[in-house]
Amino acid sequence: MMAKLNVALVVVALFLGACTSDAGPGDTGTTSTAATSTTRGAQSSTTAGGGGVGQGAGAGVPAFAYALQQFDQCDALLTWIRAEAAELVGPYGFNNNFGYFPGERAIAVAEDDAGGGDGGSESFAAAEAAPASEFSTTNVQELGVDEPDLVKTDGDFLFVLADNELHLIDVRGDAELRDTMRFEDYYPNEILIGADRLYVLSNWYGPVLYAGEGGDAIVPEFEQPTLVITEVLVDGGRLTERGRLEVSGAYVTARQIGDGARIVVRHDPQVALPFLFPSSPEAEERAAEVNRQVVLDSTLEQWLPSYRLADGSEQSAGILPACDRVRAPQQFSGMSTVSVLTLDMTAPLSKGNALSLFGAGETVYASTSSLYAATMDYPDIVILEDGAVEQDDDFMTAIHQFDITDVAGAEYSASGAVPGHLLNQFSLSEHEGHLRVAVTEGSPWFCCSDEPSVSSVRILAAEDDELVEVGAVGDLGVDESIFGVRFVGDTGYVVTFRQTDPLYVIDLSNPAAPAVQGELKITGYSAYLHPVDDGLVLGVGQEATLDGATIGTKVSLFDVSDPSDPREIDRWVQEQSSSAVEYDHKAFLYWAPERLAVVPVDSWGADTSGAVALEVVDRSLVEVARIRQAPPVDQDLPPGCELVDAEIFLGTELEWLAYEGGLVVTCSEPQEPRSFGGYYCEPLDNFGIAEGSTSDEIDVEQTTVCWPENYDRGQIRRSVVIGEVVWTIGFRSVQANDINTFEVLDRIDL
């Protein structure tokens, strides 16, 4: 089925799709010209047939040639790269373009030649027994597979990233900030922690200026992403930088199993090649010719990620992967590379042992034995002579499996493909030799298809070097998309949403014949699902109206003890709010010994931001506390002033004030603009509000409206339990609350 739509709509859709998928330039492998489709590697449009819900979705997935090929010699690798890239490159390098660069981002192509550049799933029992120590760890997808985070603890210290700084906080007695390490040149993202050292994983962006024709042409400046791994030793309450590894490319994610760290980086060669760009349609042909020569004159250094290692007094640099550690799919999937870098955290930092493959690597999942990198093969598009666009509704996601059981380095295992696209890492799960994959089929742009979307769960098994589908269940959420998914042992939970939230319970015990056991339809959706115990699952997402309009954060307690009859047995809702847990599972804390969940909540209504502590008691949810890091505002109010519920403005011309995250204060005497308690306030009548045009409950002349001076005031990013204390970490402070009374015990400003 081909969908026909306006060019402008496609431009916007492709841009949004590229942003949400993290795909770099060149990942799609598409260049558009009138009345032609130049997408390389177009495949059969056959997809799996789909029976009814609970039935097999069929075995009609086409046999794509996604298996990876290996190059024994560097010359053979470079020859392959040049040949593939020469067919792909166009007047805009490897980018899709429907227009021209304006102003300084364009060059007029001259008549003379331009030279090229040189150059494993948990069970309910496991979930209940997971906290074997007296402190919580990062909330991860798989037991035994640690994930990087902005907060880590060993039970004695908190390691916290905030505002370009790494903070070491001693929590063994009275909390004490022992040391701070500042990163001046780049922004630290996450931490991996070992026995006596930690890695700080950072992304750095810097401009790269390309030489033009004759050295004096105007050429674009691009931001070059670089992964920076900083090795920090922890000794005697002090932080000491020991080594630094820089890798060209963008940091994607990392996993840690025991002492072995696997760090994934994506490299885009577009920023390393001196491509020229046309400033008019007339210059396109010449620009394409120049760029093709750039490709033919290119070197491996311009295509593969490079590294620079500073290890004490020693320094080294070069290409990151050895040529025989580079793989390329038979089915072309772009000129970007994704690399799996293996490091031993018991030894000094080194360049490690990298395995690289050509492809985008948008989604990464790891079990204790395998790492999977998934890349969506974007659908073909055809621009017709009348300016309309046809798009193929059939597209695939390629999945590559790597063996990570040896700390010496990852090894390629197998490849396969499934129709549709993934939601996130939770869409993948390895269990007893099978890979379960939850996918949504339909336009990945959510705008450009006449066919309704539909979801399925597909089960793959490795046969030699191929991931082969052995079973599937389809027709989940017709005309909806997957919003949440979790695999727990032999059971899968899939949430789809458009107007209501169907929760599907799927029996995966027989990989060849998976089946839907039960279905629950309720309002709203759960974006994150967390197994508790006794057949209970917690869901965090949004409540919604019957029409599908979201209205605020919802935490659901599901009873799935009878898979054929899943039920929502309790829920907690805060309107006009959202939770970071909806898109970041690491923001969620569940402490099994106390059956306690801590969920950050950001409010733009009358309630302030912070976190809610919910206890699972007798198969119900009980709110036990609201945790706020900001001191109570009313302690800082001027004399004669009191807080007013901002909802009094609902239905008036000041309704927007109820959604801005601010405060409303009434005072016995008119107030001047001023700051108090971290808020900036102005009298309401400064906004030209006429008396009687708003709520009768307030006096305009005596009312002041206030906004946080810092947008992140009061936001809680993470929660950690150590002993009898719940630690909450915000952007600017760390706070300790008693786990029984939630009384504030201590606070450290960062």
Q: What is the pLDDT of residues 550-580, one digit of tens each?
A: 999 999 999 999 999 999 999 999 998 999 9
Q: Determine the Cα–Cα distance for residues 100 and 588; give it in Å rounded to an integer.
A: 45
Q: What is the pLDDT of residue 169?
A: 97
Name the residue among 108, 495, 542, 43 with its Cα closest to residue 290. Answer: 108
Q: What is the pLDDT of residue 44?
A: 32
Q: For residue 321, what are its two tokens? A: 């992967």
Q: What is the pLDDT of residue 236?
A: 83
Contacts of 558 (CB under 8 A, 6+ apart): 503, 520, 536, 537, 538, 539, 566, 567, 568, 569
Residues 437-486: tens digit of each pLDDT? 999 987 655 545 567 789 999 999 999 889 999 999 999 988 889 999 99
Q: Any idea which of 92-101, 313-322, 445-454, 578-587 has the lowest mean pLDDT?
A: 92-101
For residue 53, pLDDT beyond 60: no
Q: Determine the Cα–Cα distance for residues 716 and 718; give it in Å rounded to an integer.
A: 6
Q: Determine the Cα–Cα distance for residues 403 and 537; give it in Å rounded to an integer.
A: 31
Q: What predicted TM-score, i.e. pTM, was given to this entire model?
A: 0.80
Percent of the chain with pLDDT over 90: 48
Q: What is the pLDDT of residue 433?
A: 94
Q: What is the pLDDT of residue 389?
A: 61
Residues 677-708: tens digit of each pLDDT? 667 788 877 776 655 555 566 777 788 877 76
Percent of the chain with pLDDT over 70: 73
Residues 157-173: tens digit of each pLDDT? 999 999 899 999 999 98
For residue 593, pLDDT beyond 50: yes
For residue 111, pLDDT beyond 70: no
Contacts of 263 (CB under 8 A, 6+ apart): 199, 201, 227, 229, 251, 254, 340, 341, 343, 352
For residue 325, pLDDT beyond 70: yes
Q: What is the pLDDT of residue 228?
A: 94
Task: Tell the residue number behind the tokens 């009878």, with chain if given.
Answer: 562
Contact (Cβ atoms closer than 8 angstroms) between residue 277 and residue 291: no
Q: Determine the Cα–Cα distance for residues 613 and 591; give it in Å rounded to an integer.
A: 11
60: left (phi over 0), alpha (psi -120 to 50) or beta: alpha
Residues 715-749: tens digit of each pLDDT? 899 999 999 999 999 988 899 999 999 999 999 98
Q: Determine the Cα–Cα distance for residues 16 and 19; give it in Å rounded to an integer.
A: 5
Q: What is the pLDDT of residue 411?
A: 93
Q: What is the pLDDT of residue 662?
A: 62
Q: Any idea which of 144-153, 189-198, 226-235, 691-700 has the lowest mean pLDDT?
A: 691-700
Contact (Cβ atoms closer than 8 angstroms) between residue 170 and residue 178: yes
